[in-house]
Structure 1
Amino acid sequence: MVITGIGVRAPGGSGTKAFWDLLTAGRTATRRISFFDPAPFRSQVAGEVDFRPEDEGLTPREIRRMDRATQFAVACAREAVADSGLEFGGVDPYRIGVSLGSAVASATSLENEYLVMSDRGRQWRVDPGYLSPHMFDYLSPGVMPAEIAWVAGAEGPVTMVSDGCTSGLDAVGHAVQLIREGGADVMVAGAADTPISPIVLACFDAIKATTTRNDDPAHASRPFDASRDGFVLAEGAAVFVLEEYATARARGARIYAEITGYATRCNAYHMTGLKRDGREMAEAIRVALDEARIDPTRIDYVNAHGSGTKQNDRHETAAFKRSLGDHAHRVPISSIKSMVGHSLGAIGSLEIAACALAIRDNVVPPTANLHDPDAECDLDYVPLTAREQRVDTVLTVGSGFGGFQSAMVLRAPEGAAA
């Protein structure tokens, strides 16, 4: 299975090129929250996307109907479809599918509607007279992939994947499996999340998962650094066009990367807690490598989950050592969350995009803000500056609340120039 189209909306710029330029320059796009007054909250910083739906070609009716996350997904899908060069009108619509991931779906619009109906929480009994006619669109996560299906003309399998922070990885993994088993010939797959809202911010405040480095937003996300104190909430989206390798080659498509292995596991242990030995993530990595039929020493770059919480970064370091053996000490590893924050269900797809672009350009993006590595995070986490090197095979991983652990292997397409 190969990626032939990419669409990205992320903090720091609009489109795939702006996203990759930011990462390779090692710039950060995290800032003080501007969508609402964050002063009452413990964590007041985020990775916001400068997104104008009018500039994306969305009509006033579409803007009114769609939640912000759905708008992101549609914009990315249009970019990915155009980027692929595939004439979707010439493909049997029953052979085109959609697999979209999201952790909190239309939480922003649901919160806004509650504020209207309850007069900003002043009324215990909400007034249904103020109910939006589009409330179903906000309530049902399945509306998001349905909107993508209309963009692509997809009448095959259309699916929503929502399992927290691994949703973006798992949605693409599900799409790959559907093509492999013969359920579709083309899949439009990815993820979108726009969780920067008071209720979501308050939820993470309550469990102290997010950073309190409010005085320095640009340097607040510090994966693997000894001074890290939590992740930076963010929003974003990435969508891909996936096809079989032979079909893509036959039509002369540009192939960004092959997806050769994928696996997901759950620790069945704790909603937010992680075991220090990293066993569950290591198992997902092992199975993904087995499916890709490669030895750990073939991995040229690892895109880490790297959220910037104390327990995740140590858990992940242990998982790399357990699954990659001695190679874990030689392979470059980095976290793009240091630059664009943690967009929950969307980040896994954004990281797949970063991996595909790393393969295309033979560049490893850095871990920004990594000045004083945690002694327990003693691997090569590519501090501060991007690294030019040969990148043929990449491992990307994700970890999510609920105990979800996922891994995916991507490699350069056959015949790629050396």
Structure 2
Amino acid sequence: MRRVVITGAGAVTPLGNDAAGTWRGLAAGRSGIGPLTSFDTTGFPVRIGAMVKGFDPATAIPARVGRRHLSRVGQFGVAAAYEAQRSAGLDGPAGAVPPDERGVAMGASVGRPDLRTLLDIGELRASTGRPDAFVPRLPSSTLTDDQNVPLNAMARMFAATGPMIGVSTACSGAGHALGEAFRAIQEGDAQVMLAGGYDSLTTWLDLLGFSLLGALTDRHNDDPTRASRPFDADRSGFVIGEGAAAFVLEDLASARARRAPVLAEVLGYGSSLNAWRITDSPPDGSGAIQAMEGAVAESGLGTGGIDYIVAHGTSTHGNDMSETAAIKKVFGSDAHRLVVSAPKSMAGHLTSASLGLGVLAAIGAIRHSLVPPTINLDHPDRHLDLDYVPHTARRMPVGAALVNAFAFGGSNTSLVIGAYREDS
């Protein structure tokens, strides 16, 4: 079976508009949560979110890609992918890796028309009395809303004519995309895959929908940096966010042949479905247990070989309880030796991109021997008794990390990311 390594990384997140800036934010325990600026939140029960700041597509995306038909979130994804491509040394001629050996796999929400656009169309029809008055706008808006358009842009940018995989499994989207890219390389379908996730659910409809489900915290509108509190006794819901994270996954032989930088190695992938409620995690951690066990088993490390768990850690009551129960079940006596931390305490919930952020945290922890913290863990829940790395990052060697993502709808993914070793 081919070994698969990570040779490039890119990110656009509430903590920074590149991978290095995002890692610095995670390592510093800095919150990227603040007032929502994507719409007027007056009268809404929640007025905060984790938004990308200062992003300029004109400098982040090459002109040859064609930015005209990219949505805002599509721009995040393409920018992260371009950074990953460049950091892997694959932004030059395609000769080093043939186009048919290059592929793209991305997790993202299914594109849908913007409600503001639909309202504008209705007003235009009413004011002109012409049912077809909106027709000239359709080609552009249809392309902008299509989930495949950013993937197509990435494929053209990456000179990729191999596998193209678009995944929409909510919060586990990036996990499935990375896992399927891992499989494609393992099985010889590609030498190199550009993989990750991008998402933005910061519209008024998203906010209202998640608020009505009771999933968002509404207690910290005046103190947003304290809003996301995974594993804390006073947690009251997650914070909606946006962003992208992308990676170049590569067959080790290919990476060695072109002397590519190796950031880490993908060692295992697990996936499962809860067959439980749509919005809740099973209290006993089932589903998550299956995904975690699958990833750890494939890695060949055993539970004793995992040092760090990058938790899904949403700051909802049920998820944090379920994930903790799953960790205890999978790791047994090793559970209290492990360190566990939740990037969502700082970056909010990037939904389809969330596991990508977790992989970035894992790579940083492995390369810098530094585990990012779980901030806002002021009042430990007596039922949650693992080491969640409260408040500040911790210096320690990390040989391998398990990264989790558990989604609405019950889909679960876990990846094991390890330090690259020549002799393994």
Q: Please tell me the TM-score bracket, short chain as reference.
A: over 0.9
Q: TM-score, normalised by structure 2?
A: 0.93
C-alpha displacement of 1:343 = 0.9
Pair 1:345 & 2:352 matched: yes
Residue 285 of structure 1: aligned partner: 292
The amino acid that maps onto 1:5 is: G
Q: Which moved more, 1:10-19 or 1:386-395?
A: 10-19
SS at 1:271's partner residue?
A: coil
Residue 155 of structure 1: aligned partner: 161
Q: Which moved more, 1:382-391 or 1:82-91?
A: 82-91
Residue 78 of structure 1: aligned partner: 82
Equivalent in 205, 212, 223 of residue 211 of structure 2: 205
Residue 397 of structure 2: aligned partner: 390
Q: List 4+ stretches of structure 1 deviating above 4 A.
A: 57-61, 120-123
C-alpha displacement of 1:243 = 0.6
Residue 379 of structure 1: aligned partner: 386
For this pair of structures, how many residues does the alignment match? 414
C-alpha distance 245-146 of structure 1, shift in aligned 2 (>3 A): same
SS at 2:139's partner residue?
A: coil
Residue 32 of structure 2: aligned partner: 29
What is the aligned-residue identity percentage? 38
C-alpha displacement of 1:62 = 3.5
The amino acid that maps onto 1:357 is: G
CA distance in 1, matches of 2:44, 2:59: 32
Contact 2:125 2:133 in 1 (8 A): no
SS at 2:10's partner residue?
A: strand
Cα-to-partner distance string for 1:221-280 (whole Å, 9 max, x where unaligned) = 000001110000000101111111122123222111100100110011111122111021
* Structural mapping, 1:34-49, within 5 Å: 34-49=37-52
The amino acid that maps onto 1:65 is: H
Contact 1:178 1:184 in 2 (8 A): yes
CA distance in 1, matches of 2:124, 2:290: 46
The amino acid that maps onto 1:229 is: S
CA distance in 2, matches of 1:232, 1:105: 21
CA distance in 1, matches of 2:328, 2:306: 13
C-alpha displacement of 1:88 = 5.1
Contact 1:69 1:105 in 2 (8 A): no
Equivalent in 65, 69, 78 of residue 69 of structure 2: 65
CA distance in 1, matches of 2:152, 2:305: 38
Cα-to-partner distance string for 1:321-373 (whole Å, 9 max, x where unaligned) = 00011111111000000000001101111111111121111110000111111
CA distance in 2, matches of 1:136, 1:37: 25
Contact 1:5 1:241 in 2 (8 A): yes
Residue 315 of structure 1: aligned partner: 322
C-alpha distance 120-333 of structure 1, shift in aligned 2 (>3 A): farther
Cα-to-partner distance string for 1:28-78 (whole Å, 9 max, x where unaligned) = 010011121112222211111011212324559944311011111111111
Q: Which moved more, 1:169-178 or 1:251-260?
A: 251-260
The amino acid that maps onto 1:146 is: N
C-alpha displacement of 1:152 = 0.2
Contact 1:192 1:345 in 2 (8 A): yes
Pair 1:269 & 2:276 matched: yes
C-alpha displacement of 1:130 = 6.1
Residue 134 of structure 1: aligned partner: 140
C-alpha displacement of 1:113 = 2.1
CA distance in 2, matches of 1:408, 1:57: 29
SS at 2:390's partner residue?
A: coil
C-alpha displacement of 1:188 = 0.6
Contact 2:61 2:78 in 1 (8 A): no
C-alpha distance 121-101 of structure 1, shift in aligned 2 (>3 A): farther
Cα-to-partner distance string for 1:188-221 (whole Å, 9 max, x where unaligned) = 1111102111111111011010110211111100
CA distance in 2, matches of 1:350, 1:46: 17
Equivalent in 89, 95, 102 of residue 94 of structure 2: 89
Q: TM-score, normalised by structure 1?
A: 0.94
C-alpha displacement of 1:140 = 2.7
Unaligned regions of 5+ residues in structure 2, if any? none
CA distance in 1, matches of 2:49, 2:32: 9
Unaligned regions of 5+ residues in structure 1, if any? none
CA distance in 1, matches of 2:117, 2:65: 17
The amino acid that maps onto 1:96 is: R
C-alpha distance 122-255 of structure 1, shift in aligned 2 (>3 A): farther
CA RMSD in angstroms comes to: 2.1
Contact 1:142 1:159 in 2 (8 A): no
* Structural mapping, 1:214-253, within 5 Å: 214-253=221-260
Residue 188 of structure 1: aligned partner: 194
SS at 2:287's partner residue?
A: helix
CA distance in 1, matches of 2:133, 2:339: 56
Q: Which moved more, 1:111-120 or 1:174-183?
A: 111-120
CA distance in 1, matches of 2:375, 2:13: 16
